[in-house]
Structure 1
């Protein structure tokens, strides 16, 4: 069956207005594509590849609503300590219920691809097992990569005779897609450095991608990003490596940053920034001026270093808000990183689409290109500028040529007469 979507504004296809879909794939993108079994008029609206949430903790979803456990300081490290107690006794089925609801929420805004940071510092690997089952159960509608993330550290955690490092490896053996880490939460710089080296060794051993919570601190002397980049560079593993957060790099001095930018380009390392979460968490020890807590996103964009945005958390111990709406994440990120130059608006959607797909290595299965799966979303705007300026809704999400959902555009009934003069 052939479907044709007409009268569209297609992202990065300025010379096209129609999409032809056959057997769940893009048959053609262009003009006057001929007859089809079904024709859908998009009425000039913007078509994007699906949103990619490059960094999301599905297992933490809505844990922040429990009145018995509160992050009083609002800091990253108190949240980690609270979560360590909270997760004990949680069953796999309870985890799956939370994860499925989180995915449902996120998908309702147009996200079809998620990198799920999943805590594995649990001797029973409850969260990992739950995430792997949810990944496989929902794979036809949502693509999920599971990160084996040692929230309490590879070497600073040990329980029932198993270290965080051992549990990371067991999670990889169970089928996790990425090796995670959190070197700034180890007990010493030496342990943090060793954890980074072990992350790269495990990734190579099991042929996995890397995604490290790296330097999520305001300490301008944090240097685990430098170690991660060096290991990836030496092993030729940069394009398979992602450094998430890297908040401290936003506090580093410019001379150091200048040198590192050249090394990042050389390695091909990827970055993820989480605008809303790190704006909320960081700068807690600052008076004024108060740091934004974000890495150097604008400089990455200008230097051709791949960087994407992620939601990170939805109503948990780290962040009390969040919905999974990547348009909200983009909007906050563009303001915080000042990506509003004339040249930015046409490419800003890359931060929540193509750039995330690149670090997840989805290139063969993602994008508005002939022969690829017909996965795309429709926004209620005629172009990229209006979509960003008005923070518009996603009206439809299409997967393999079929609707995951579609909405009617909002209609407002008002008696306001802007031409009427007041007396």
Structure 2
């Protein structure tokens, strides 16, 4: 007998609902009998959401020790440098656990977090390594050794990166545009790649997160990926300077990124408010060239980046909210583009993180999220709560179906915000 049947769920791209079955924590062929049956009325179901880019060590620190009055990237970095001095393992773990619960409620089961290692004690990294073990199989957590103040421009930065690997970092990060010179930026990229290659790790670098069209470290990343044969193991995050590149150079670098097999992550929530701060009018949309990259065959993901920290005071850990913003910010409101936004928070980041056994095929772990919406279009439009989240066949999060009523012509009617065809 099956453990669970999910009846009447609609999968992305399918016109008609289907039935999903669980046996021993894995997807199975549907049968008539099951110990539990859940009717879902045609709601959209996808594999778990994947958070491709977040800074868990900084979550919930907005206003500590002071507010970011300018709202700028660089004031945020300065405030965080002050906050780092007061970090404790207990402080980090308590804040992160709160946000991990938010993420799980939103259907996120796989998280890649950048962790600041410009701290001689590596306090945040040690805390998150401990937490990664403590949460066990409840969620999957990848940790990036992220040098917020630079690798070569911060005293002892190279050694701290090496110590971060020894302490348990899964991925090597960097921030070349923050180094003191372009030459140091290039050298920092090469250092990060070499360190990753030596330890068989992946690379995920904050790259060209600036409006400066002369910031071109992503080309160095592509070249190193090709030189070291690291296709599929490298991610460039942000690359907002690409928005300001001239067309001839942009065409060249997009093609080289495609050739290298790199993944890309765009972070529409943070970069919609952080970029363009030096502009008068018109103010640029500072984000990467999502549509051009996708047209070239590059895997592009969406990241949340921040949750109530010195750089972004808003957010609640929902990648779908970031996808909603990108629909507007990235001119991705076309009929074929809106469903693609769902892929950018599921299968696309799953590939970037190198996840195995991810999907809804028979034999895969029975991990899934069900949206309070019948289609990809409505999921993006409404950013609804998640009706159900399954982890290895167990319900780990659920939302009671909300009900809204209006009084119209003296009678109370229910409203669900879904379009219905008129007769």
Same fold (TM over 0.5): yes
Change (3 A) 1:33 1:152: same
Change (3 A) 1:80 1:192: same
Aligned to 1:21: 22
Give CA deviations for 1:198-254 in whole Å, capped at 9, x if unaligned.
110011101111100000000001011111111111111131000000000111111
Q: 1:328 aligns with which of 321, 324, 334?
A: 321
Aligned to 1:11: 12
1:238, 1:77 → 2: CA distance?
32
1:301, 1:319 → 2: CA distance?
27
Aligned to 2:82: 85
Q: CA deviation at 1:335?
A: 0.9
Q: CA deviation at 1:302?
A: 2.2
Aligned ranges 1:6-405 → 2 under 5 Å: 6-12=7-13, 17-28=18-29, 33-66=31-64, 68-158=65-155, 163-362=156-355, 364-405=356-397
Residue-pair matches, total: 411
1:80, 1:390 → 2: CA distance?
33
Is 1:412 aligned with 2:404? yes
1:372, 1:417 → 2: CA distance?
52
- Answer with 76-85 or 185-194: which moved more: 76-85
- Answer with 243-252 or 408-417: which moved more: 408-417
2:294, 2:244 → 1: CA distance?
18
Paired residue secondary structure (2:338) = coil
> TM-score, normalization: structure 1?
0.94
Change (3 A) 1:418 1:133: farther
1:232, 1:384 → 2: CA distance?
34
Give CA deviations for 1:331-364 in whole Å, capped at 9, x if unaligned.
00111111121222333201111111000000x2
Paired residue secondary structure (2:112) = strand
Change (3 A) 1:417 1:379: farther
Q: CA deviation at 1:413?
A: 2.1
Give CA deviations for 1:307-350 in whole Å, capped at 9, x if unaligned.
11111011111111111122211100111111121222333201
Whether the 8 Å contact between 1:18 and 1:33 is mirrored in structure 2 is no
Unaligned 5+ runs, structure 1: none
Paired residue secondary structure (1:195) = helix
1:194, 1:417 → 2: CA distance?
70
2:403, 2:125 → 1: CA distance?
43
1:71, 1:151 → 2: CA distance?
17
Change (3 A) 1:137 1:13: farther
Q: CA deviation at 1:173?
A: 1.3
Change (3 A) 1:391 1:89: closer
Q: CA deviation at 1:416?
A: 2.1
> TM-score, normalization: structure 2?
0.94
Whether the 8 Å contact between 2:105 and 2:398 is mirrored in structure 1 is no
Give CA deviations for 1:259-299 in whole Å, capped at 9, x if unaligned.
11211111110000000100100100001110111101121
- Answer with 265-274 or 81-90: which moved more: 81-90
Paired residue secondary structure (2:42) = coil
1:89, 1:386 → 2: CA distance?
43
Whether the 8 Å contact between 1:229 and 1:238 is mirrored in structure 2 is no
Unaligned 5+ runs, structure 2: 413-423
